[in-house]
Chain A
Amino acid sequence: MGRIKDIWGFLRTRKKWWLVPIITVLLLLSLIIVLSQGSALAPFIYAIF
């Protein structure tokens, strides 16, 4: 959570709002990759795509 707070603080202070869509998509994607990498659930999750 600390890191997400840091990213939010960075975007606000430096006014880099154009990074919001890219960071959001990357966060969601990394969540999927982290949860599925090396886990037995990977084939189930990837089957959704």
Chain B
Amino acid sequence: MGDLIKKNLKGYKGEITYPEHHQSHAASAFFPGPFKEAAIITMDGVGEWATASWGVGKGNRIDLHSELLFPSSLGLLYTAFTYYIGFKVNNGEYKVMGLAPYGKPVYAQTILDNLIDLKEDGSFRLDMSYFNYCQGLTMTSDKFHELFGDLPRKPESSITQRDMNLAASVQAVTEEIVLRTARYVRRETGQRNLCLAGGVALNCVANGKILRERIFDDIWIQPAAGDAGGSLGAALFIWHQILGNQRDVDGVHDLQQGSYLGPGWSDSEIEKWLADAGYPYEKMDEADLFDTVSGGIAAGRVIGWYAGRMEFGPRALGNRSIIGDARSESMQSIINLKIKYRESFRPFAPSVLLEDLEEFFDTDKASPYMLLVTPVRTSHRRELSEEEEKLFGMEKLRIPRSDIPAITHVDYSSRLQTVSAADNPRYHGLISSFKKKTGYGIVINTSFNVRGEPIVCTPQDAYLCFMRTEMDILALGNCFLKKEEQPHLEPADEHHSEKRKIPEVKSRAELRKFGLIMAGAFAVLCVLLYFRNSTLPPPAAGLSGFFLLSALLYPGLLFPIEKLWMKLASVMSYIMTRVLLTLVYILAVIPTGLIMRLLGKRPLQLGFAEEVKTYWVDVDPEGPCSRPEKQY
């Protein structure tokens, strides 16, 4: 691995370090955070063999204390339900979280009674007979489908109340596991603050619960809590823990720089690109731009807002965002269906001025990275009539529940971002301008992309996304673009033009090589047969001669033979690869497994152990975590 890294980082002669997966998550949670010392919890699908870990960070050091081991994984349990509810594995988990408030957790007890043995300290084991991710290509097994009474929902088929109840159930179990773990880690470490990372830390509903239960005085969550953040964690781990550089924190302000760590384009670069492409735009000073754009938002327009450096992590935080009016009843459906082309149930998140946070929400905790879910304040809620209260599932979606309905989820919750003038003065300026016009210092903020595509990075990405959707206005830096003034988008401007089919042509050199290989192979066959029968076999010798002469004199003659032969080769390869792999499984894997079982060696910890108090395993102080300079 070291050779590969050095080869690709041309000219790099330094050392290479290999922090463990959860060590990197833990580093990404603690080092950029605001605390001098804190407890750390990481939870995800799996990394190396760990699926969760906890420890303590102090000054410029982190130390992991315990971990949970594969295959018992909260991330994979959530993913199994994501798969069963018909969303994409490792992709649709946030949709399950969004769907949960529409359902009731009627299956939560079934999960706790059958699928999982959960201890008081949040550690657990899964009954692997309900899952198939260890040995198969699906997440769940037939036994799982029998338990819940149906096969997995087919993707894109309609979502039923049962799917919503399943989502609510796995969300409830997840929250229970996260809360028990948080309480246990608080007791064990005695720390007052908590840092979180790992994919499960993107479950902002569970994060909000930890905060509201007041288990810790304060929490900080790495905005790129998924594996992308591991790169940041690994770099900071080397900087602080290995190189010994000090960390300078004040207990309040973090070092993540608003997570605006990605690439950015200056106004002059954007202007040059627009002028070169010939797209009509109007250059404005900042005050005019804020005034015009906020006027557009208030008039019900949908805005593409592109400014400064791109966000690092899965959330758009006001530099690559689509913005709309949170007061509008129709905005949720408009943006979902006409701009993002995604399911209409998906709620939107608000960006609220930090100074107006308590005006709209039941919290005083700033959430600059959109990682906390908080209830909307009662004074902004709308009383539901008796008939409206009785509605189920998706029917709830059409009922406005507050005077900011586009960002109020069916359970009155909201995944909010607080915007401060210090973190993002430009975005703060825009929302302040909207507040001057309407009295509301809050807007819808959703990532600048369409479903299935990444968030836009360059001005060109932003322009193409703007033109392909029904967005009305695009602000690229200080350049203001109106949809109706733009020229029709030529197919040449599109990213993905149709692939042309290229006719198959073989060069003379390739055919000559083929002829020589065939001549050689038949010659070897001749020699082998000669030693066996003591006579030269005429067909093999003839074929060898034919290929040799053709290769040397007229390779073109070999074209149809080569085509036919290679087709035969690919069919044989297809069959033989499978036959050989099956043989390897039977002759090498099964006997090794049987011998290990006879010797009592079990590499995976399976089965429930009712008699033990915990499934947490101590991190070996002399194990891989202690030698990051070694790959293993």
**In the complex, how many residues of chain B place their beta carbon closer than 8 angstroms to a beta carbon of chain A?**
34
**In the complex, how many residues of chain A place their beta carbon closer than 8 angstroms to a beta carbon of chain B?**
26
Picked from B2, B4, B576, B589, the residue with its CB within 8 Å of the CB of A46 is B576
Q: Which residues of B have CB within 8 Å of A3?
A: 1
A18 to B577 CA separation, bound complex (whole angstroms): 24
Q: Across the A-B interface, give the 5 residue pairs with the lowest CB-CB distance, nearest first.
A: A42-B569, A2-B3, A10-B632, A25-B588, A46-B576
Picked from B518, B577, B595, the residue with its CB within 8 Å of the CB of A40 is B518
A22 to B579 CA separation, bound complex (whole angstroms): 16
Instruction: Verify A25–B565 contact, CB threshold 8 A.
Output: no
- A34 to B: closest C-beta gap in Å: 11
Q: Which residues of B have CB within 8 Å of A2?
A: 1-4
Contact with B along A1-42 (1 / 0, CB 8 A): 011001001100110001001100110010011001111111
Q: Which residues of A have CB within 8 Å of B569?
A: 36, 38-40, 42-43
Instruction: Verify A13–B632 contact, CB threshold 8 A.
Output: yes
Instruction: Verify A9–B4 contact, CB threshold 8 A.
Output: no
Instruction: Verify B577–A44 contact, CB threshold 8 A.
Output: no
Instruction: Verify B589–A22 contact, CB threshold 8 A.
Output: yes
Q: Which of B535-572 contact A (CB under 8 A)?
A: 562, 565-566, 568-570, 572
Instruction: Verify B584–A29 contact, CB threshold 8 A.
Output: yes
Picked from B573, B601, B632, the residue with its CB within 8 Å of the CB of A36 is B573
Q: Residue on A with the closest CB to B599? A: A18
B631 proximal to A (CB < 8 A): yes
Query: Quick one: given A2-B4, A40-B569, A43-B565, are A29 and B580 in contact (CB under 8 Å)?
Result: yes
A32 to B593 CA separation, bound complex (whole angstroms): 25
Instruction: Verify A40–B581 contact, CB threshold 8 A.
Output: no
A-B contact pairs, 17 of them (CB 8 A): A3-B1, A9-B632, A10-B631, A18-B596, A21-B592, A22-B584, A22-B588, A22-B589, A32-B580, A36-B573, A38-B569, A38-B570, A43-B565, A43-B568, A44-B525, A46-B572, A49-B579
Picked from A21, A26, A33, A39, the residue with its CB within 8 Å of the CB of B577 is A33
Instruction: Verify B573–A6 contact, CB threshold 8 A.
Output: no
Instruction: Verify A9–B517 contact, CB threshold 8 A.
Output: no
Instruction: Verify B631–A6 contact, CB threshold 8 A.
Output: yes
Instruction: Verify B592–A22 contact, CB threshold 8 A.
Output: yes
Q: Which residues of B have CB within 8 Å of A43?
A: 565, 568-569, 572
B31 proximal to A (CB < 8 A): no
Q: Which residues of B have CB within 8 Å of A46?
A: 572-573, 576
B630 proximal to A (CB < 8 A): yes
A29 to B576 CA separation, bound complex (whole angstroms): 11
Query: Quick one: given A40-B518, A40-B565, A44-B521, are A21 and B631 in contact (CB under 8 Å)?
Result: no
Instruction: Verify A18–B601 contact, CB threshold 8 A.
Output: yes
B243 proximal to A (CB < 8 A): no
Query: Quick one: given A2-B3, A42-B572, A46-B573, are A14 and B632 in contact (CB under 8 Å)?
Result: yes
A21 to B2 CA separation, bound complex (whole angstroms): 25
- B353 to A: closest C-beta gap in Å: 53
A26 to B279 CA separation, bound complex (whole angstroms): 57
- A23 to B: closest C-beta gap in Å: 9
Q: Given A22-B584, A36-B569, output 4 extra A-B contacts at Cβ < 8 Å.
A: A18-B596, A21-B592, A29-B581, A40-B514
Instruction: Verify A9–B631 contact, CB threshold 8 A.
Output: yes
Instruction: Verify B573–A40 contact, CB threshold 8 A.
Output: no
- A36 to B: closest C-beta gap in Å: 6
Contact with A along B42-72 (1 / 0, CB 8 A): 0000000000000000000000000000000
Q: Which of B580-632 contact A (CB under 8 A)?
A: 580-581, 584, 587-589, 591-592, 595-596, 601, 630-632
Instruction: Verify A41–B521 contact, CB threshold 8 A.
Output: yes
Q: Which residues of A have CB within 8 Å of B573?
A: 33, 36-38, 42, 46
A44 to B520 CA separation, bound complex (whole angstroms): 11
A6 to B18 CA separation, bound complex (whole angstroms): 13
A29 to B4 CA separation, bound complex (whole angstroms): 23
- B406 to A: closest C-beta gap in Å: 53
- B604 to A: closest C-beta gap in Å: 13
Q: Which residues of B have CB within 8 Å of A42?
A: 569-570, 572-573
- B483 to A: closest C-beta gap in Å: 49
- A47 to B: closest C-beta gap in Å: 9
Instruction: Verify A26–B521 contact, CB threshold 8 A.
Output: no
Instruction: Verify A41–B517 contact, CB threshold 8 A.
Output: yes
- A41 to B: closest C-beta gap in Å: 6
A36 to B363 CA separation, bound complex (whole angstroms): 65
Q: Which residues of B have CB within 8 Å of A41?
A: 517, 521
- A5 to B: closest C-beta gap in Å: 9
Q: Which residues of B have CB within 8 Å of A32?
A: 580
Q: Which residues of B have CB within 8 Å of A33?
A: 573, 577, 580
Q: Which residues of B have CB within 8 Å of A6?
A: 1, 631-632
Instruction: Verify A26–B584 contact, CB threshold 8 A.
Output: yes
A37 to B572 CA separation, bound complex (whole angstroms): 10
- B69 to A: closest C-beta gap in Å: 14
A41 to B2 CA separation, bound complex (whole angstroms): 34
A36 to B577 CA separation, bound complex (whole angstroms): 10
Q: Residue on A with the closest CB to B521? A: A44
Contact with A along B1-21 (1 / 0, CB 8 A): 111100000000000000000
A39 to B576 CA separation, bound complex (whole angstroms): 14
Picked from A9, A25, A36, the residue with its CB within 8 Å of the CB of B587 is A25
Contact with A along B240-261 (1 / 0, CB 8 A): 0000000000000000000000
Q: Which residues of A have CB within 8 Å of B517?
A: 39-41
Q: Residue on A with the closest CB to B575? A: A46
- B21 to A: closest C-beta gap in Å: 16
Q: Residue on B with the closest CB to A42? A: B569
Q: Residue on A with the closest CB to B579? A: A49
Q: Which residues of B have CB within 8 Å of A39?
A: 517, 569
A43 to B489 CA separation, bound complex (whole angstroms): 51
- B595 to A: closest C-beta gap in Å: 8
A14 to B49 CA separation, bound complex (whole angstroms): 13
- B550 to A: closest C-beta gap in Å: 13
